[in-house]
């Protein structure tokens, strides 16, 4: 049975009559279906499109079209992607299009990389994954610890800034004074001074974060391999999992085709990530205070 027919049978099983609808009505039927129904549909679809022991797929549009399970390890999957992104970031206004095409093609080649190139910082920053752990289907996110920690730091610092400089934005709409009805929109703030201070604090924090990222990455790469796993549920109660790799060496040891088999033996308590995040958040807020914010 081909994949397209399998997909049609799965949709028909959970939404009877959907295959008789036109494209627009089919889209409406899918949008109106409950998250529980969509979870069951996605779980069965995953059995058809996923690969490897964990029936895994990477669901990031900017990543290689080729299956992640074709690559020897997570590091080898990520390095060509980083090289492509780095080329565009470094040459933002003068991108070498020939080189860009070469790097884009390289992301589709499952070549083994024994070590990371100079300047490499993993691009795994909450990449969407779908997989089975045991017999249970999960919506997953894949992180390198450097990005997961920085995300925690940002949440803490933004909360600190919000408490220190509270304000609210209000959207105002006005009917235009013209023959043709139209509206204009502007925004006002409940506290101009706090809004200005908040923007200054955020700008200074982002400078702090940009300096911290390579230092934190270097610090983590000096440590032994480790993984972290955080189970949860989304807003509709569907199972989620955050999968975090500590450093480059960890990425080199995890093969996508045997993902959880390689991942689980290295698992440690994710409280360590919270500990580091709280330390760096304190450094960030101390920096803001030292600048009079």
116 pLDDT higher than 90 = yes
Contact 268, 144 (CB under 8 A): no
Mean per-residue pLDDT over the chain, rounded? 94
91 pLDDT higher than 90 = no
174 pLDDT higher than 90 = no
pLDDT band with cut points at 50, 70 and 90 for residue 183 = confident
pLDDT band with cut points at 50, 70 and 90 for residue 173 = confident
What confidence score (pLDDT) does residue 168 get? 92
27 pLDDT higher than 80 = yes
Average pLDDT score over residue span 150-156: 98
The DSSP result for the chain, as a single string, is --HHHHHHHHHHHHSTTGGGS-HHHHHHHHHHS-HHHHHHHHHHHHHHH-BTTTTBEE--TTS-SS-GGGSSSHHHHHHHHHHHHHHHHHTTTS--HHHHHHHHHHTTS----SSPPTT-----EEEEEEEEETTEEEEEEEEEHHHHHHHHHHHHHHHHHHHHS---EEEEEEE-SSSS--EEEEEEES-HHHHHHHHHHHHHHHHHHHHHHHHHHHHHHTSPP-EEEEEEE-TTS-EEEEEEE-SHHHHHH--GGGHHHHHGGGB--THHHHHHHHHHHHHHHHHHHHTT-
pLDDT band with cut points at 50, 70 and 90 for residue 172 = confident
What confidence score (pLDDT) does residue 4 get? 83
Tell me what percent of the residues of the chain surpass a pLDDT of 70.
99
Identify the weakest region by mean pLDDT among 2-11, 128-137, 226-235.
Answer: 2-11
Strand-pair category, 125-133 with 57-58: antiparallel
159 pLDDT higher than 90 = yes
Identify the weakest region by mean pLDDT among 15-24, 74-83, 115-124.
Answer: 15-24
pLDDT band with cut points at 50, 70 and 90 for residue 1 = low
pLDDT tens profile 48-86: 999 999 999 999 988 999 999 999 999 999 999 999 999
Identify the weakest region by mean pLDDT among 14-18, 65-69, 173-177, 266-270.
Answer: 173-177
188 pLDDT higher than 90 = no
């Amino acid at each position: 049975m081909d994949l397209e027919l399998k997909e049609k049978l799965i949709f028909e099983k959970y939404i009877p009559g959907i295959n008789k609808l036109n494209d627009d009505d089919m889209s409406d039927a899918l949008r109106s279906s409950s998250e529980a129904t969509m979870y069951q549909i996605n779980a069965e679809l995953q059995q058809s499109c996923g690969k490897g022991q964990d029936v895994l797929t990477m669901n990031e549009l900017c990543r290689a079209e080729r299956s992640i399970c074709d690559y020897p390890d997570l590091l080898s999957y990520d390095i060509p992607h980083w090289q492509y992104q780095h080329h565009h970031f470094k040459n933002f206004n003068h991108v070498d299009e020939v080189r860009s095409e070469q790097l884009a093609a390289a992301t589709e080649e499952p070549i083994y990389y024994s070590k990371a190139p100079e300047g490499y910082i993993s691009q795994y920053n909450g990449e969407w994954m779908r997989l089975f752990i045991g017999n249970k289907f999960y919506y997953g996110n894949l992180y390198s610890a450097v990005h997961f920690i920085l995300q925690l730091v940002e949440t803490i610092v933004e909360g600190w800034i919000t408490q220190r400089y509270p304000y609210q934005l209000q959207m105002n709409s006005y009917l235009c004074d013209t023959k043709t009805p139209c509206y204009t929109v502007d925004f006002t703030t409940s506290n101009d001074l706090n809004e200005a201070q908040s923007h200054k604090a955020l700008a200074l924090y982002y400078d702090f974060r940009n300096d911290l990222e390579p230092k934190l990455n270097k610090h983590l790469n000096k440590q032994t391999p480790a993984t972290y796993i955080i189970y949860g549920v989304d807003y509709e109660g569907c199972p989620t999992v955050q999968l975090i790799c500590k450093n480059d060496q960890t990425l080199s040891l995890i093969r996508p085709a045997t993902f959880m088999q390689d991942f689980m033996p290295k698992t440690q308590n994710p409280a360590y990530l919270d500990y580091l995040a709280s330390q760096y958040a304190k450094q960030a807020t101390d920096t803001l205070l030292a600048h009079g914010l």
